[in-house]
Amino acid sequence: MKNIVVVGSQWGDEGKGKIVDWLSEQADVVIRFQGGHNAGHTLVIEGVTYKLRLLPSGIVRKNKISIIGNGVVVDPWALLKEIEEIKSKGVDVNINNFIISESANLILPFHREMDEIREDAAGKEKIGTTRRGIGPAYEDKVGRRSIRVMDLRSEKSLDQRLESALIHHNAIRKGLGNKIFDKEQLKSDLLKIAPKILRFSQPVWFKIDQFKKQKKKILFEGAQGILLDVDHGTYPYVTSSNTVASSAATGSGCGPNSINFVLGITKAYTTRVGEGPFPTELTNHIGDLLGSRGKEFGTVTSRKRRCGWFDGVLVRQTIKISGIDGIALTKLDVLDELDEIKMCVEYEIDGKKTNYLPAAAEDQLKIKPIYTTFPGWKSSTKGIKNIDDLPENAKKYIFAIEDFIGAKISSISTSPERNDTILVQNPFEI
């Protein structure tokens, strides 16, 4: 038995959906362990595109169990809508292949509104959130006033929990000149959908223990990327959860000894959505070319992603922070048309060189990247499935990345299609 954690080694959008889908063919169970419906995974399978936000990528495969762990914040209406969307494409979602942790915290309408109120009030200092209510929901979780899936079982419990949450939220809303939120209408709306959510609810920690005893292979699926981790990312321009691999244990209910391999999904260049530092960002025609060839628009928000050269300094750092054992390199084919390709190998801040990302945002914004330049290969790599068939300059670039970041590349993705992958090492067999 081998259990694998998949995390993004950059700012998210590295192509985790395709890789998790590819790995889930060998797994028995796929678990989402953090984030909310602000993180989208796009899968392209036999010409059909699936855009998942909350549902684990394993849901599109038959005979797999997909789980939303306790570390995820769940918008119940968004989840039910996503289930209906994927059912319309022929994917079955039932109590035998889908589980929600009874301890998962809910995102409610006042969380979404609070997200919008604060982003609008922040002006130029905004974080660039997806305005889905994720941050305020995690705040309520830590503040011990959150509504959890299990609270939907009892009208009395739900009423008490809503009262506690709205005392806090309505005080802030009133202070910012907004109308107070009506508890009764929200309680009524939640009770209407409660049976649809509760039918999937189980103690996930208990189920994982059963799966381990049954020697099932478990795939832990992360959302966003390590550079958006609330502790280790480019704070304050981060998400509200821990996106590192160790969060898989906390966010699902199992010990760290349940994790056997950490796979870091890494794009062959770098992108970022929203505000915040981005040392290798390209605001020129090359950045535009990467964006258009890579179809760099958010799965959830359709926001245009910022694009730049591969930042080896950042990826080397996230590998150390998250204990990454191997790399799945994605979107290599996006670089096919470039005359030359650059990789950041060092930073300069106020005239001094450094080999890591400093913690302070003010220092991060001062970074001047130092590059190594590689010749482009000027030929198509799309759909190549054998590393020996890659152009020589593409192989040189790949091996240079591997050498600099200090982690083995286990696979190389050459298109969004499930099977267009060069397998170097199978994480389930290492």
Catalytic residue positions, numbered: 13, 41
Strand order in the sheet with 65-68: 201-202, 98-101, 65-68, 29-32, 218-221, 4-8, 261-267, 326-330, 408-413, 421-423
For residue 202, which of 38, 108, 109, 66 has the smallest C-alpha distance? 66
- Please give the Cα distance from 367 to 90 (Å, whole number): 48
- Please give the Cα distance from 193 to 80 (Å, whole number): 9
Amino acid at 261: F
Query: Are the C-beta atoms of residues 32 and 56 closer than 8 Å to each other?
Result: yes
| Owner of token pair 């809910």 | 106
Query: Are the C-beta atoms of residues 366 and 242 closer than 8 Å to each other?
Result: no
CA distances, 247 to each of 153, 254, 425 (Å)? 28, 10, 25
Omega of the bond prior to 203 within 30 degrees of 0, cis? no
Cα Rg of the chain, angstroms: 22
Amino acid at 127: I
127: burial class by Cβ within 10 Å (0-12, 13-18, 19+)?
middle
